[in-house]
Structure 1
Amino acid sequence: MSSPDSLPLVTIVALCHNHARFLEPALDSILAQTYPRLEVFLVDDGSTDDSVAVLRKYAAAQPAWKTVFLPKNVGNCAAFNRAFFQSQGEYIIDFATDDILLPERVARQVAQFQQLDASYGMLYGNLELITEAGEFQRHFHRPDRAGQLQPRPASGWVFEDVLQRFFISAPSMMMRRATLQALGGYDETLAYEDFDFWVRASRSWQFYYQNEVLTRKRLHPRSKSVQGYRPNDPLLASTSVVCRKALALCRTSAERAALAVRVRWELRQAARFGSLPQARDLYGLLREIGGMRLPEHAIGAYLELRRLVGH
């Protein structure tokens, strides 16, 4: 490897909210990185468990690490931005501290980014999904019977893919600083960050799939990925906002059709789980996009009936 001073600086924003029982393996995985030029921010987003005590212990042992301890919970987007706008790294990793970085994670991703031109704003890869106790469950991208990875990864200009389907696992991402800076960081009005980043970034930058497993993502009951579609779910409300942003960015009929696929799926989930205000908003958006189908007309009639009877 080159002299550390000649390597790009990589910022890891380690974002914690009530992750006390997962923090030690997460932070140890930062210490185990083989890449020598890291800037680390430990961010606590108003935890009410013992997280801050653990973070302080690691910060005391690593004086170069920086800390951002927020007195109250402000949400992932705002908490991340507090560190991002202080950071200096050419590349950025948004690291949830219930996950684990494998030792070569940063080195392998920087090496890949160095082979790509400046039009690439983000790269991502495969990862291991582990249980709450840390046991391996499966890989995120898995080969089907034909040997093709599912969900199917995409590289290049992927705006249309991003609109239509879910194929990126956010914990595997490394972002180019210039990309995130141009977007003004994460949108702090949203309850989650990844879909909005994918939509806005893929409009102007290429993405690259690196077919390596460099991260372990922990699945547990409080993770955002298992909390969606409940009534008054803030994640679904944010999804609706992002879909409206996406419609404003669409340039072709194919892109609008891809967005309609996404909105139809979100609408059906919202109606199925009884998230009626969000379902109504998504139904209205689908009408704006065009391409309504019979099932969506049936959902519209159902929503109107619930409105008329006061639900």
Structure 2
Amino acid sequence: MAPPVVTIIALCHNHARFLREALDSVLAQDYAPLEVWLVDNASTDGSPAILREYAEANPSWHLLLLPENIGNCRAFNQAFLQSTGEFVVDFATDDVLLPQRLSQQVALFQRLPPDYGMVYSNCAHITEAGQLLGLHHRPDGRGRLNPRPASGWVFEDVLSRYFISTPTMLMRRAALLALGGYDEALSYEDFDFWVRASRDWRFQYQDVVTTRKRKHPRSMSAQVTQQHDPYLDSTLAVCRKAVALCRTPAEARALARRLRHELAHALRRRQWAAARQASQLLVDVVGRVVGLRGQA
């Protein structure tokens, strides 16, 4: 049988200084066939010219230059809904793929039952200049990793804690299609995908380093530590969806742990409206726990 097509959706917004390294890492993949979509979300730093250069040099690649910034989720969907790959990578062009990334992950997917919707792996964090900072899943010296990966039915895990390195994900197209793609009302995508997909699909961790994730002041992960977290409203919107998805008291308690964390996060940053939302959601989840106990 022919190997499955993998779609790489390379999302760019003002990544000019990192863009060539990112796109060269796509070219360096030891896996074929690939379907590559280059999506620029209205960059102002010269990124479109670099993307045009790579598209011209690789005629099979698709180029989508958006005239205005429409947000990550909508920009991703613009390419995803036109793509065809059985598996999909959401690739931020300030990161780097290691050469065996796709061959390793596709081989794992092909050994798994068809209800596995996503595989993920370890990654190396790097500075703006590319210097190694450390691993996402760090060995603790006792044969364990921190944060602890989870595999199989991980809905309860994704509610209660962060452990997946987003840039390492390879998603099954069918899982994304079942969700209707990313929720375009949200300002970021990964937590929503984890919650909604893990309800009906299993996830699998692969203990290899497949990706280099760049840490810099403009990255999404850096912005959540700022005084005003621009993504907190989206996090609470996902938690609101999760209330109805909980089927057991343990799952609802896991969501309550997440909400207590988000409430503390909002209070520390004096985001009072978000704190009120988190408090009300916490009340709703406690009611959900009581209701689910009554059904048991």
TM over 0.5: yes
- Measured after TM superposition, the shift of residue 226 of structure 1 is 1.0
- Measured after TM superposition, the shift of residue 144 of structure 1 is 1.3
Q: Equivalent residue of 2:209, what SS?
A: strand
2:26 maps to: 30
Task: Indicate conservation of the 8 Å contact 1:12/1:92, yes or no.
Answer: yes
Q: Equivalent residue of 1:290, what SS?
A: helix
Code of the aligned partner of 1:197: F
Q: Equivalent residue of 2:238, what SS?
A: helix
1:146 maps to: 142
- Measured after TM superposition, the shift of residue 289 of structure 1 is 1.2
2:58 maps to: 62
More deviation, 225-234/87-96: 225-234
- Unpaired segments ≥5 residues, structure 2: 288-296
Choose which of 181, 196, 201 in structure 1 pairs with 2:177: 181
2:119 maps to: 123
- Measured after TM superposition, the shift of residue 229 of structure 1 is 5.6
Choose which of 195, 198, 202 in structure 1 pairs with 2:198: 202
TM-superposition CA deviations, 1:241-281 (whole Å, max 9, x none): 00000111001111000000000001101100111111111
- Measured after TM superposition, the shift of residue 145 of structure 1 is 3.6
Code of the aligned partner of 1:288: D
1:271 maps to: 267
The 1-side partners of 2:194 and 2:43 are apart by: 28
Q: Equivalent residue of 2:89, what SS?
A: strand
State the TM-score, normalizing by the size of structure 2: 0.95
Does residue 45 in structure 1 map to residue 41 in structure 2? yes
- Unpaired segments ≥5 residues, structure 1: 292-311
Task: Indicate conservation of the 8 Å contact 2:182/2:193, yes or no.
Answer: yes
- Measured after TM superposition, the shift of residue 27 of structure 1 is 0.1
- Measured after TM superposition, the shift of residue 234 of structure 1 is 3.1
TM-superposition CA deviations, 1:29-71 (whole Å, max 9, x none): 0000000200000000111110000000000100000011110
Choose which of 156, 159, 163 in structure 1 pairs with 2:159: 163
Code of the aligned partner of 2:45: D
- Measured after TM superposition, the shift of residue 233 of structure 1 is 3.4
The 1-side partners of 2:258 and 2:136 are apart by: 20
The 2-side partners of 1:111 and 1:290 are apart by: 42
Code of the aligned partner of 1:242: V
Choose which of 251, 257, 276 in structure 2 pairs with 1:280: 276
2:210 maps to: 214
- Give the length in aligned residue pairs: 287
2:294 maps to: none
- Measured after TM superposition, the shift of residue 230 of structure 1 is 4.6
Task: Indicate conservation of the 8 Å contact 1:171/1:215, yes or no.
Answer: yes
The 2-side partners of 1:254 and 1:76 are apart by: 32
- Measured after TM superposition, the shift of residue 28 of structure 1 is 0.2
Task: Indicate conservation of the 8 Å contact 2:6/2:88, yes or no.
Answer: yes
Code of the aligned partner of 1:72: E
The 2-side partners of 1:231 and 1:191 are apart by: 17
User: Which runs of at least 4 in structure 1 moved beyond 2 Å after TM superposition?
Assistant: 229-234
- Measured after TM superposition, the shift of residue 216 of structure 1 is 0.3
Code of the aligned partner of 2:29: Q
The 1-side partners of 2:141 and 2:7 are apart by: 39
Does residue 244 in structure 1 map to residue 237 in structure 2? no
TM-superposition CA deviations, 1:203-234 (whole Å, max 9, x none): 00000001110100000000011111656533
The 2-side partners of 1:136 and 1:196 are apart by: 29
The 1-side partners of 2:221 and 2:263 are apart by: 17
Report the structure number with the largest CA radius of gyration: 1
The 1-side partners of 2:188 and 2:5 are apart by: 26
The alignment's C-alpha RMSD in Å is 1.1
State the TM-score, normalizing by the size of structure 1: 0.91
